[in-house]
């Protein structure tokens, strides 16, 4: 508590956000933005807490936030997000969506782009209540029940979903790159899939009966199916969006509206909530996970998302503590972070070891001692994980099935953990020595994984001998170009029957560990095996592929009915590394 | 009617010129003035279109003072939670520390204002901030004295020590001067040297005075002896130690001895060779003429008072203070004519007349912040009990209400006022009720915050009114779903009926329901109004029908009419909805149900005939209606026949 300093700022703070820090550096955030509300003249302001040492013995004045610059803002700032390092998107009560640019050299702010009256009624302005960005995309929601998609640097509006909600949408978050989640004033969570053209939600979840308005939502940084919401009654709800339509656990948190909920971005065992009742809560689950180091940490979404399964093998607990349901039994600890409660804490943001929050009492609090990582700092997740994924993809493409194929996600998870004994390059696949060598060199521990010393050591691998990396790969002819007769031509794909995919080998327990042999024995080609593995939504749907696959966007083709996955794969195989810009996330 | 204490200040309204008539309306912290339509005969000038707002309290709009309001609000709330039942002995340190918290907030604010005043280039702004600094300085001075005299209520002995601290804190320019002197090349020859030494002595900072004198002594080896003597006198002066085991009488005896010693030195003319040292010696014996000769160093009469007490009456009792204060004031101010408001406030404090202090402060200061908070604190110390106003409830509540009302007029600070109203037991709630309804609601988030305030205090009337405002706004913007949500929250049945009606109209017009996400999830909220129940149930019928659960659908449809949930005007639509069910191959309505349907139809047609005489509607529409009825009758008859046959058949 001693580490939290109050700074009175003469404006009621509605939003606070840390400026993002680059992922690779171990830097702590030191600049944040605030937005005010209910002032005659509202402002957005940029503050610095200086970077003079983060030792715990500071007398509290050293890190006092200093105003760097501010800019007038029309209407209340109802939401505020950093688009990138120096651009900020705000949602205004006038319905406007504005991008501000923070000029670091001169310490000034200017308006760089504005969509006035983006949210509106026929003859009045409608407040824009929430904004979320995934650069360059900006999604906003408002009291008018609209969802609007913008693109930074594009003047017009990308897409509007009119009447997305009959009541007010209070908050929005990205679930995946193409899916968002909104919460509204009648207690519903709605999932929207932008790949679909229809203007109705792909799923609606709600608390049964009570219709308690929800005010905030945050997604678990690693396990995309876990979502936390906070509502008018101050309850914290944790949902598993894959399962059922009601929340997984409900926890009493505050005595009034919960305005914001945030998972710690790199240490999601910690969660923070703030409320109208003037309290700021720190939630901590104690999960004793002993994961292999390469599984730990942030970005490997797919891997972590599987952990909703029951713990297996004794000490290997990958279960998400947030879904374990026994929060009441002392596994969940909460503590108050503010010394006393008076006026509403409207917003909080947490990044690295720093937390900032702003109140209606016109004070900003900064705490610099948030536990950042469950493990040691050096265990941080690095880019090396992507090379593991490349290995897995390569395996899939050249073998025709994923390396850790199993009947249930749980088993796949086990196989991944025990990769040393489960990863085999099968002789039936008749791989070239270069290919199997590359796979083995990529799919291994991070200590000696190829790529550890830079991309060049991968490019130099004999497997890529025929590829000329010196000039622009995109300008070169692809080694294999599939013939596509028309935009809905699916002849390049094997037919898929998702049900048979799993039914064929569920007869015996004994051959579970050797699925491939089992499949060959059944005389069936493991068609479309990569189908489940390559796409993160595999994990998001509990291992069951979509019964009706949605096309991914593929340049040069209209969105068609075809299974869009294939071409991207083949091109990736051909080009070696040309997988950028696709909606693919590798294991 | 009480007499007016001071003449009211005159504010000139630009629009008001001769012959114009002004109307006005009181606000909580301001007055609105406008020119009336009244035209004096002969004058035909055009009226002024402006409304003037006259504010009593400008301070509330200062961005820096906002910090004072916010931070002190925090302290105020903390003070209210100190438990009543604690013995007062335990509470005193708490009250003193709260008082110090308040003062430190004032200090912080003052420092920031000072900084801005110095750094700004705009002369007017600098002056404005400068004025605010001096007001805060005065406030803190008064508060500190009140803390010493009333809250801490120091007894004889320690009283003087506290007063010395008080003077030292507010006469800090000595330290600045001393720094200049010490930083110069030769401090002992600096032109301010003796001023600094004298100031130290006058404030009883004898150790510092001795150190300064040492520098001079080193410079004048010839006069070493008298410097040595002075040093001994200074070092021997006794100070009362409240923590020690020395009694006040013992101290008094000791002090008298020392005083006699100093007096002896003076009589001996020991310091005759050095006029500065002689003056110091005279100060030490408390010679009034010498003290008054240093008015410029004392600068205020209360400094004079404390110095005089220090060297003449160090064991002064609180009850004797007023006598010395009064005489010091008269002695010090003889050249000037009238004491300033600050002087009389301090004098009143020395006289322990708390009410006079508060009254004078209320008149002299332009904001309620100080008096409201000080009075509240004193009231908690149980110092104000005997006094009751002949208006309102009591002094504390009156001042808090005034302050809070002022806050409520502010665009942003209204939230702070809520806690002040909460702590006014008698009229706070009424004030809050009247004010909270008038908060402008720009966004739903603000409305939610206001609602939360009302709901926490069971102000159901206000909750309803706020929800209604929001519902009406939503309705005006054609957001039926939102409007319905708001009326459900307010449990406003009449409004829910109105909105349900709109939903049904929309359905009739378009043939589809809008806002299904809401209507499908009404849950128990459906029971709020009959019409809303009908809306929910009717939608349920459509859902069942869509899912081809005809049996249940039919039952529901019938019950909507027989249980009189459906409005009569909607029956025709319901019966028409029954048509496709009647026309199904399978028998869905049983014979009994069919009878009931027929009964409904007859009831409807009979009332229709009476209520709508032929000429009212165009022929075409009437024909259509008639055909519909005919069709229904036919379908009902056919269904009845089928049902009877089916029910009469023994299943094999």
Nearest to B518 among A93, A126, A167 (CB): A167
Q: Give whole-number Cα distances, A264 to A135, A282, A549, B323, B348, in Å.
A: 21, 10, 33, 66, 58
Give the pLDDT score at A324. 60
A233–B contact, CB cutoff 8 A? no
**Would residue A467 count as lying in a domain?**
yes
Task: Look up the CATH number of the domain holding residue A566.
Answer: 1.10.510
Q: Summarize the confidence of residues B333-347 as an average pLDDT.
A: 81
- The total number of structural domains in chain B stands at 3
- Examine the domain organization and report whether B184 and B294 are in the same domain: yes
A120 bridge partner residues: A125
Question: A257 and B452 in contact by Cβ < 8 A?
Answer: yes
- Examine the domain organization and report whether B325 and B284 are in the same domain: no
Q: Give whole-number Cα distances, A210 to A164, A213, A274, B17, B521, in Å.
A: 21, 9, 22, 62, 9
- Examine the domain organization and report whether B135 and B260 are in the same domain: no
Whether residue A546 is predicted with pLDDT greater than 60 in this model: the reply is no
- What are the structure tokens assigned to B123, written together? 């002369």
C-alpha span between B482 and A167 (Å, rounded):
4
- Examine the domain organization and report whether B70 and B140 are in the same domain: yes
- Examine the domain organization and report whether B352 and B239 are in the same domain: no
Q: Summarize the confidence of residues B321-341 as an average pLDDT.
A: 83
The 10s digit of each residue's pLDDT in B602-617 is 888 877 654 455 455 5
Cβ burial A234-252 (10 Å sphere, 16+ → b, else e)? bbbbbbbbbeeeebbbbbe
Contact A31, A18 (CB under 8 A): yes
- B592 compared with A294, residue with greater pLDDT: B592
**Would residue B533 count as lying in a domain?**
no
Contact A277, A230 (CB under 8 A): no
Smallest CA–CA distance, residue B371 to chain A, in Å, is 22
- Examine the domain organization and report whether B179 and B281 are in the same domain: yes
Q: Summarize the confidence of residues B109-131 as an average pLDDT.
A: 88
Which alpha helices (H) appear in B120-240, and where do they start and end?
123-146, 158-170, 173-183, 193-202, 206-219, 224-236
- Backbone φ and ψ for B26, nearest 5 degrees, come out as -75, 140
Give the pLDDT score at B388. 62
**Which domain does A506 fall in, by range?**
384-575
Whether residue B3 is predicted with pLDDT greater than 80 in this model: the reply is no
Give the pLDDT score at A58. 39
Tell me the pLDDT band of B618, cut-offs 50, 70 and 90.
Answer: low
- Examine the domain organization and report whether B141 and B68 are in the same domain: yes
- What are the structure tokens assigned to B651, written together? 């299943």
What is the Cα gyration radius of chain B?
42
**Which domain does B229 fall in, by range?**
156-164+171-299
**Would residue A425 count as lying in a domain?**
yes
Contact B271, B278 (CB under 8 A): yes
Looking at beta carbons, which residues of chain B come within 8 Å of A38? Answer: 411-412, 446
B448–A contact, CB cutoff 8 A? yes
- What are the structure tokens assigned to A522, written together? 């059944």
- The total number of structural domains in chain A stands at 1
Tell me the pLDDT band of A29, cut-offs 50, 70 and 90.
Answer: confident
If you measure CA to CA, which chain A residue comes closest to B70?
A361
**Would residue B238 count as lying in a domain?**
yes
Tell me the pLDDT band of B530, cut-offs 50, 70 and 90.
Answer: confident
pLDDT over 70 percentage in chain B: 91
Give the pLDDT score at B39. 61
C-alpha span between A177 and A182 (Å, rounded):
14
B485–A contact, CB cutoff 8 A? yes
The 10s digit of each residue's pLDDT in B226-256 is 899 999 999 999 999 888 788 888 999 999 9
A76–B contact, CB cutoff 8 A? yes
Distance of CA A406 to the CA centre of its chain: 26
**Would residue B34 count as lying in a domain?**
yes
C-alpha span between B205 and B161 (Å, rounded):
11
Residue B575: how many other CB atoms lie within 10 Å = 22
Give the pLDDT score at A3. 56
The 10s digit of each residue's pLDDT in A289-339 is 433 333 333 333 333 322 233 333 333 334 466 766 544 444 677 888 887
**Would residue A433 count as lying in a domain?**
yes
Give the pLDDT score at A266. 84
Our CA angle for B431, B434, B437, nearest 5°, is 135
Question: A188 and B442 in contact by Cβ < 8 A?
Answer: no
Our CA angle for B268, B274, B280, nearest 5°, is 75
pTM for this prediction: 0.76
Smallest CA–CA distance, residue B118 to chain A, in Å, is 19
Contact B316, B156 (CB under 8 A): yes
Tell me the pLDDT band of A498, cut-offs 50, 70 and 90.
Answer: low
- Examine the domain organization and report whether B29 and B48 are in the same domain: yes
- Examine the domain organization and report whether B64 and B195 are in the same domain: no
Smallest CA–CA distance, residue B89 to chain A, in Å, is 25
pLDDT over 90 percentage in chain B: 30
C-alpha span between A421 and A583 (Å, rounded):
31
Mean pLDDT of chain A: 74
Looking at beta carbons, which residues of chain B come within 8 Å of A212? Answer: none
* Residue A308: strand, helix, or coil: helix
C-alpha span between A337 and A339 (Å, rounded):
7
How many residues in total does chain B contain? 652
**Would residue A231 count as lying in a domain?**
no
Question: B521 and A188 in contact by Cβ < 8 A?
Answer: yes
**Would residue B341 count as lying in a domain?**
yes
**Would residue B228 count as lying in a domain?**
yes
- Examine the domain organization and report whether B91 and B9 are in the same domain: no
How many residues in total does chain A contain? 587
Smallest CA–CA distance, residue B67 to chain A, in Å, is 6
Interface test with A, best of B412, B507, B528 (most A CBs within 10 A): B412
Tell me the pLDDT band of B15, cut-offs 50, 70 and 90.
Answer: low
Give the pLDDT score at B617. 54
Question: B485 and A185 in contact by Cβ < 8 A?
Answer: yes
* Residue A270: strand, helix, or coil: strand
Give A316's DSSP letter. Answer: B
ipTM score assigned to the predicted complex: 0.84
C-alpha span between B562 and B599 (Å, rounded):
10
Cβ burial B367-383 (10 Å sphere, 16+ → b, else e)? bbbbbbbbbbbbbbbeb
Give the pLDDT score at A78. 95
Give the pLDDT score at B103. 94
If you measure CA to CA, which chain A residue comes closest to B519?
A166
Residue A366: how many other CB atoms lie within 10 Å = 21
A206–B contact, CB cutoff 8 A? yes
Specify the residue for token string 């330290």. Answer: B175
pLDDT over 90 percentage in chain A: 27
Cβ burial A187-222 (10 Å sphere, 16+ → b, else e)? bbbbbbbbeeeeeebeeebbbeebbbbbbbbbbbbb
The 10s digit of each residue's pLDDT in A219-266 is 998 888 889 999 898 988 888 888 766 777 788 889 999 999 999 988
B483–A contact, CB cutoff 8 A? no
If you measure CA to CA, which chain A residue comes closest to B473?
A124
Residues 459-498 of A with CB under 8 A from B: none
Give the pLDDT score at A314. 31
Our CA angle for A139, A142, A147, nearest 5°, is 40
- Examine the domain organization and report whether B218 and B295 are in the same domain: yes
Residue B112: how many other CB atoms lie within 10 Å = 18
- Examine the domain organization and report whether B89 and B177 are in the same domain: no
């Amino acid at each position: 508590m001693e580490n939290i300093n109050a700074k009175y700022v003469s404006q009621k703070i509605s939003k606070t956000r840390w400026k993002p820090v680059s992922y690779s550096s171990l830097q702590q955030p030191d600049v944040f933005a605030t937005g005010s509300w209910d002032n005659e003249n509202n402002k957005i302001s940029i503050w610095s807490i200086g970077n003079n040492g983060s030792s715990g013995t500071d007398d509290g004045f050293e890190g006092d936030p200093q105003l760097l610059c501010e800019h007038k803002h029309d209407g209340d700032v109802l939401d505020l997000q950093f688009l990138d390092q120096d651009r900020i998107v705000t949602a205004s009560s006038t319905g406007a969506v504005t991008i501000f640019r923070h000029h670091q050299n001169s310490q000034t702010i200017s308006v760089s782009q504005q969509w006035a009256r983006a949210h509106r009624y026929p003859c009045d302005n409608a407040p824009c209540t929430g904004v979320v960005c995934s650069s360059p995309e900006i999604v906003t929601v408002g009291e008018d029940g609209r969802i609007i998609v913008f693109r930074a640097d594009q003047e017009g509006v990308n897409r509007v979903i009119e009447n997305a909600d009959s009541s007010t949408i209070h908050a929005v978050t990205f679930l995946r790159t193409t899916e968002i989640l909104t919460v509204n004033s009648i207690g519903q969570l709605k999932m929207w899939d932008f790949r679909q053209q229809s203007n109705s939600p792909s799923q609606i979840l709600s608390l049964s009966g009570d219709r308690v308005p929800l005010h905030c939502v945050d997604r678990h940084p690693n396990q995309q199916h876990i979502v936390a919401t906070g509502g008018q009654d101050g309850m914290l709800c944790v949902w598993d969006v894959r399962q059922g339509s009601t929340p997984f656990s409900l926890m009493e948190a505050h005595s009034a509206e919960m305005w914001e909920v945030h998972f710690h971005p790199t240490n999601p065992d910690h969660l923070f909530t703030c409320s109208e009742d003037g309290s700021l809560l720190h939630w901590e689950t104690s999960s004793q996970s002993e994961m292999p180091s390469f599984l730990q940490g942030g970005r490997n979404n797919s891997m972590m998302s599987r952990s909703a399964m029951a713990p297996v093998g004794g000490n290997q607990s990958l279960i998400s503590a947030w879904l374990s349901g026994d929060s009441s039994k002392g596994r969940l600890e909460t503590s108050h972070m503010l010394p006393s409660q008076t006026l509403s804490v409207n917003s909080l943001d947490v990044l690295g070891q720093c937390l900032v929050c702003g109140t209606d009492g016109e004070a900003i609090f900064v705490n610099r001692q948030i536990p950042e990582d469950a493990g040691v700092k050096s265990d941080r997740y690095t880019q090396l994980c992507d090379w593991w994924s490349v290995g897995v993809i390569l395996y899939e493409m050249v073998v025709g099935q994923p390396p850790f194929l199993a009947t249930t996600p749980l088993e796949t998870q086990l196989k991944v953990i025990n990769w040393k004994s489960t990863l085999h390059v099968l002789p039936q696949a008749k791989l070239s020595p270069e290919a199997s060598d590359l796979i083995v060199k990529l799919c291994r521990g991070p200590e000696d994984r190829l790529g550890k010393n830079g991309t060049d050591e991968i490019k130099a691998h004999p497997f890529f001998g025929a590829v000329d990396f010196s000039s622009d790969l995109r300008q070169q002819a692809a080694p294999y170009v599939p013939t596509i007769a028309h935009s809905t031509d699916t002849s390049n794909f094997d037919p898929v029957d998702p049900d048979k995919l799993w039914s064929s080998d569920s007869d015996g327990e004994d051959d579970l560990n050797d699925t491939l042999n089992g499949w060959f024995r059944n005389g069936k080609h493991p068609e479309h095996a990569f189908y489940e593995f390559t796409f993160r939504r595999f994990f998001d749907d509990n291992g069951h592929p979509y019964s009706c696959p949605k096309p991914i966007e593929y340049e040069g083709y209209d969105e068609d009915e075809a299974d869009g996955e294939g071409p991207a794969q083949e091109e990736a195989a051909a080009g070696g590394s040309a997988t950028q810009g696709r909606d693919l996330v590798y294991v | 009617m009480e007499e007016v204490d001071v003449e009211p200040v005159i504010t000139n309204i630009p629009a008001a010129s001769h012959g114009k008539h002004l109307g006005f309306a009181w606000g909580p912290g301001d007055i609105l003035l406008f020119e009336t339509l009244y035209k004096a005969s002969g004058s035909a000038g055009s009226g002024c279109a402006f409304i003037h707002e006259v504010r009593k309290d400008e301070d509330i709009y200062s961005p820096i003072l906002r910090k004072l309001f916010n931070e002190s609000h925090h302290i105020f709330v903390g003070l209210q939670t100190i438990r009543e039942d604690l013995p007062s002995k335990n509470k005193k340190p708490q009250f003193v520390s709260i008082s110090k918290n308040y003062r430190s907030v004032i200090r912080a604010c003052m420092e920031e204002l000072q900084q801005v005043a110095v750094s700004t280039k705009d002369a007017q702004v600098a002056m404005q901030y400068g004025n605010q600094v001096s007001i805060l300085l005065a406030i803190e001075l008064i508060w500190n004295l009140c803390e010493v005299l009333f809250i801490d209520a120091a007894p004889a002995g320690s009283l003087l020590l506290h007063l010395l601290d008080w003077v030292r804190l507010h006469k800090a320019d000595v330290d600045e001067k001393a720094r200049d002197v010490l930083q110069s090349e030769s401090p002992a020859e600096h032109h301010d040297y003796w001023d600094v030494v004298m100031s130290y002595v006058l404030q009883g900072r004898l150790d510092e005075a001795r150190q300064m004198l040492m520098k001079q002594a080193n410079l004048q080896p010839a006069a070493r002896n008298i410097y040595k003597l002075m040093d001994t006198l200074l070092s021997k002066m006794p100070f009362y130690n409240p923590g020690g085991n020395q009694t006040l009488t013992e101290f008094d005896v000791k002090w008298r001895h020392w005083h006699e010693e100093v007096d002896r030195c003076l009589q001996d003319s020991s310091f005759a060779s050095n006029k500065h040292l002689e003056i110091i010696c005279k100060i030490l014996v408390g010679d009034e003429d010498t003290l008054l000769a240093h008015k410029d160093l004392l600068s205020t009469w209360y400094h004079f008072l404390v110095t005089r007490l220090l060297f003449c009456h160090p064991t002064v009792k609180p009850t004797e203070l007023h006598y010395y204060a009064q005489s010091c004031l008269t002695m010090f101010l003889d050249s000037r004519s009238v004491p300033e408001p600050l002087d009389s406030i301090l004098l009143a404090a020395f006289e322990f007349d708390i009410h006079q202090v508060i009254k004078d402060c209320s008149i002299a200061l332009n904001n309620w912040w100080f008096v409201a908070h000080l009075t509240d604190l004193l009231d908690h110390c149980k110092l104000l009990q005997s006094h009751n106003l002949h208006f309102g409830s009591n002094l504390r509540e009156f001042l808090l209400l005034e302050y809070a009302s002022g806050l409520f007029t502010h665009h942003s600070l209204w939230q702070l006022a809520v806690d002040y109203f909460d702590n006014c037991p008698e009229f706070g709630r009424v004030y809050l009720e009247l004010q909270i309804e008038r908060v402008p609601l720009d966004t739903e988030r603000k409305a939610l915050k206001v609602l939360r305030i009302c709901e926490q205090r069971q102000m159901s009337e206000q909750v309803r009114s706020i929800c209604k405002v929001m519902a009406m706004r939503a309705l005006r913007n054609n957001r039926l779903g939102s409007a319905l949500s708001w009326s459900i929250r307010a449990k406003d049945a009449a409004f829910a009926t109105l909105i349900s009606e709109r939903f049904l109209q929309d359905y009739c017009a378009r043939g589809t329901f809008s806002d299904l996400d809401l209507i499908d999830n009404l849950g128990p909220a459906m029971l709020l109004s009959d019409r809303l129940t009908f809306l929910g149930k009717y939608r349920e019928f459509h859902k069942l029908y869509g899912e081809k659960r005809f049996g249940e659908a039919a039952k529901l449809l019938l019950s909507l009419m027989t249980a009189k949930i459906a409005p009569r005007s909607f029956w025709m639509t319901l019966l028409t909805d029954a048509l496709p069910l009647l026309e199904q191959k399978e028998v869905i309505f049983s014979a009994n149900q069919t009878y009931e349907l027929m009964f409904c139809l007859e009831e409807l047609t009979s009332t229709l005939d009476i209520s709508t005489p032929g000429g009212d509607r165009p022929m075409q529409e009437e024909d259509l209606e008639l055909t519909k009825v005919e069709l229904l009758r036919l379908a009902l008859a056919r269904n009845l026949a089928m049902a009877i046959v089916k029910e009469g058949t023994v299943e094999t």
